[in-house]
């Protein structure tokens, strides 16, 4: 892990899942800058808070709008996005600009590993290790990071 404290936006319509994610993010030493359950709230919060990382569910309170939310957050705020979803088939081949996805149901340890890996990649500009099994990395993110190792 780096010493950098990430600003994290949680986009999740299930209140208990969002609360668990907030605890997990804070336990890793990062700051939750907002929680959103709808696409409109997510986009507003992303614009207002400029997060470093957004954890985005595919199916939000207003429907399966997470893909478009991820695409816009990545493009408009420059945040790194991770999908969290039980339905990986809804993720387009280009991952809508997201760095990867963590399949639901996920374990706390698996999500911690995924966030730590992405955090390390953001800090170093490349992967220093193989991604954890809990994270399916987007092809474009892999290409951008290049080879792993020192």
* Domain boundaries along the sequence of the chain: 7-145
pLDDT by residue (tens digit) across 111-138?
999 999 999 888 888 877 889 999 999 9
pLDDT of residue 148: 46
pLDDT of residue 146: 59
Per the CB < 8 A criterion, the answer to whether 53 and 9 are in contact is: yes
Band (pLDDT 50/70/90 cuts) for residue 3 is: low
- Strands 31-36 and 7-11 come out as parallel
Classify domain 7-145 at the CATH topology level: Rossmann fold (3.40.50)
pLDDT by residue (tens digit) across 12-41?
999 999 999 999 999 999 999 999 999 999
Q: Burial, 110: exposed, middle or buried (Cβ in 10 Å; 0-12, 13-18, 19+)?
A: middle
Per the CB < 8 A criterion, the answer to whether 99 and 11 are in contact is: no
Question: 118-142: buried (b, 16+ CB within 10 Å) or exposed (e) per residue?
Answer: bbbbbeeeebeeebbebbbbbeebb
pTM: 0.91
CA distance 33 to 27: 14
Residue 59 CB neighbour total at 10 angstroms: 17
Q: What is the DSSP string of 85-140?
A: ES-GGGS-TTGGG-SEEEESS--HHHHHHHHHHHHHHHHHSS-SSPPPTT-EE-HH
């Amino acid at each position: 892990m780096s010493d950098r404290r990430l600003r994290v936006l949680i986009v999740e319509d299930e209140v208990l899942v969002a609360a668990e994610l907030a605890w997990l993010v804070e336990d890793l030493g990062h700051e939750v800058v907002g929680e959103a359950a709808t696409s409109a709230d997510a986009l507003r919060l992303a614009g207002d808070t400029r997060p470093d990382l957004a954890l985005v569910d595919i199916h939000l309170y207003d429907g399966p709008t997470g893909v478009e939310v991820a695409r816009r957050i990545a493009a408009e705020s420059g945040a790194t996005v991770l999908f969290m979803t039980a339905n990986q088939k809804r993720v387009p081949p280009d991952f809508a600009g997201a760095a990867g996805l963590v399949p639901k149901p996920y374990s706390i340890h698996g999500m911690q590993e995924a966030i730590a890996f992405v955090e390390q990649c953001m800090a170093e500009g490349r992967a220093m290790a193989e991604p954890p099994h809990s994270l399916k990395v987007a092809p474009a993110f892999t290409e951008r990071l290049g080879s792993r190792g020192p």
